[in-house]
């Protein structure tokens, strides 16, 4: 009888212990979930609020007290401490998390961030080389680039390149960022590197052409734009650039070829302005006027419905060319009308003011 009572008591005690253990796990999990609510809020904020981080830290610590084996709690604490700049503490909990869940990509990403925070770049890169983490690094760069935070974008693009030196995408993006910063030698370096990794990518050749054009290197610009069109024959912007470049060099045959090709591809007005300039130089004023009129008409239409907008300076250029062509063919009243339109676009335009004083004084 006594043995039966003892056995029953042991079973009851065991039940209580089991319930207590289960309760600790459940409480730990519940507190961790609360921590993730505040952590996720912080992750969605461009500048995390300290109140959310403090609350997340509080609940993760409560979860840790109740269940020290919960890997999600270690991960959550690590993320919070990274965002608070407590990198050494983050390393400790995240190393434990990775040890217990070595196949979890997010754990390796976070541990890499913690190593990066304490200045251990080699170990950070080692963690980031797991699986598809490099794409997360690249997306971080994209997020900062979108907000025009150029240095932060560059930092993460470089990290992605360190993880995979043969990945062309972050290399190209870094070149774009440096170009936006007007750091042309660096932009050229990264875009040339991107071109070596992906020689058949027309967008890379186009960007190289833009940099060379900014540097006044006409020969190299034309080479890159020609290469772009070999790979992407319908690239309208490259075609227009080539027409303008050849016009500047006085090669009217190639100018005409590319301008006609561009006008067949789109309704952007510059190709008609270039054609008009060619016809004017060839003495065909009637044909020149027709092209200048089309350029002026299309510029107004384009700005109502298309992007990027035709700039005011470009619209003034079209109007001045048309007004001069009208004047040269004795269509004085039409020239006066167009010069007045120039002053609406640019009230201080000196050529239009001088021309109107001359024409209206007759």
Q: What is the pLDDT of residue 199?
A: 95
**Counts of helices then strands in the chain (DSSP H, E):** 19, 0
Nearest 5°: the CA angle 283, 288, 292 is 155
Q: What is the pLDDT of residues 117-135, one digit of tens each?
A: 999 988 888 888 876 788 8
Tokens of 79: 């993320």
The predicted structure's pLDDT at residue 29: 72
User: CB-hemisphere CA count at 13 Å for 282?
Assistant: 17
What percentage of residues in the chain have a pLDDT greater than 90? Answer: 56
**What pLDDT score was predicted for residue 251?**
95
Look at the block and give the residue holding tokens 């290197």.
217
pLDDT, one tens digit per residue, over 26-49 is 666 777 777 777 777 777 766 677
Condensed to tens digits (0 to 9), the pLDDT of residues 238-284 reads: 999 999 999 999 999 999 999 999 988 888 899 999 999 999 999 99
State yes or no: cis peptide before 165, omega within 30 of 0.
no
Domains of the chain: 29-42+50-131 (1.25.40.10), 264-362 (1.25.40.10)
In the prediction, which pLDDT does 173 show? Answer: 96
Residue 10: predicted pLDDT: 41
Please tell me the predicted confidence (pLDDT) of residue 356.
94
190-204: average pLDDT: 96
Q: Is the pLDDT of residue 312 over 60?
A: yes
C-alpha distances (whole Å) from 207 to each of 168, 179, 222, 272, 311 are 14, 9, 12, 24, 21
CA-based torsion, 105, 111, 116, 121: positive or negative:
negative
Percent of the chain surpassing pLDDT 70: 90
What is the spatial distance between Cα 245 and Cα 262, in angstroms, rounded to a whole number?
A: 13
pLDDT, tens digit, 9 for 90 and up, residues 81-121: 888 888 988 888 888 888 888 878 888 888 888 889 999 98
* Residue 15, pLDDT score: 47
The Cα 235–Cα 228 span in angstroms is 8
Distance CA 102, CA 145 (A): 32
Nearest alpha carbon to residue 102 among 122, 129, 121, 130: 130
How large is the average pLDDT for residues 73-77? 82
Is the per-residue pLDDT at 5 higher than 60? no
Give dist(CA 152, CA 44) in Å, integer.
Answer: 17
45 three-class SS: coil
Sign of CA dihedral 58, 60, 63, 69: negative
The answer to whether residues 323 and 307 touch, using CB atoms and an 8 Å cutoff, is no
Reported as a single tens digit per residue, the pLDDT across 131-178 is: 678 888 998 899 899 999 999 999 999 999 999 999 999 999 999 999
Average pLDDT, the chain: 86
Is it the case that residue 186 has pLDDT exceeding 80? yes
C-beta atoms surrounding 140 within 10 Å: 18
Kindly report the number of other CB atoms within 10 A of residue 339's CB atom: 27
Query: What tokens appear for 117 in the block?
Result: 């925070």
Confidence of residue 25 (pLDDT cuts 50, 70, 90): low
pLDDT value at residue 66: 66
- Residue 223, classified by CB atoms within 10 Å of its CB into exposed (0-12), middle (13-18) or buried (19+), is middle
């Amino acid at each position: 009888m006594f043995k039966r009572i003892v056995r029953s008591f042991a079973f009851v005690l065991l039940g209580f212990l089991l319930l207590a253990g289960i309760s600790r796990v459940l409480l730990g999990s519940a507190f961790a979930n609360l921590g993730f609510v505040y952590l996720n809020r912080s992750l969605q904020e461009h500048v995390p609020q300290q109140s959310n981080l403090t609350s997340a830290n509080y609940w993760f610590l409560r979860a840790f007290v109740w269940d020290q084996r919960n890997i999600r709690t270690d991960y959550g604490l690590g993320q919070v401490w990274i965002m608070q700049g407590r990198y050494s503490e983050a390393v400790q909990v995240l190393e434990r998390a990775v040890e217990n869940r070595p196949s979890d990509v997010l754990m390796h990403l976070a541990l890499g961030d913690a190593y990066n925070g304490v200045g251990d770049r080699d170990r950070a890169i080692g963690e980031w080389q797991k699986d598809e983490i490099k794409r997360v690094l690249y997306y971080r760069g994209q997020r900062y680039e979108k907000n025009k935070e150029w240095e932060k974008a560059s930092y993460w693009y470089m990290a992605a390149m360190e993880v995979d030196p043969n990945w062309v995408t972050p290399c190209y993006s870094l070149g774009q960022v440096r170009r936006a910063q007007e750091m042309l030698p660096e932009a050229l370096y990264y875009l040339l590197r991107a071109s070596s990794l992906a020689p058949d990518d027309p967008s890379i050749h186009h960007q190289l052409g833009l940099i060379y054009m900014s540097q006044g290197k006409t020969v190299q610009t034309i080479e890159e734009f020609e290469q772009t069109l070999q790979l992407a024959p319908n690239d309208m912007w490259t075609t227009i650039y080539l027409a303008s470049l050849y016009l500047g060099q006085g090669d009217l045959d190639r100018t005409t070829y590319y301008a006609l090709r561009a006008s067949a591809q789109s309704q952007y007005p510059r190709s008609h302005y270039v054609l008009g300039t060619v016809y004017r130089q060839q003495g065909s004023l009637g044909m020149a006027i027709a092209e200048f009129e089309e350029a002026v008409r299309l510029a107004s239409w384009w700005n109502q419905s298309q992007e990027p907008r035709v700039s005011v300076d470009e619209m003034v250029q079209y109007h001045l060319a048309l007004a001069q062509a009208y004047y040269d063919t004795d269509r004085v009243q039409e020239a006066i009308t167009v010069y007045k339109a120039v002053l609406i676009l640019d009230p201080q335009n000196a050529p239009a003011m001088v021309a109107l004083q001359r024409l209206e004084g007759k």
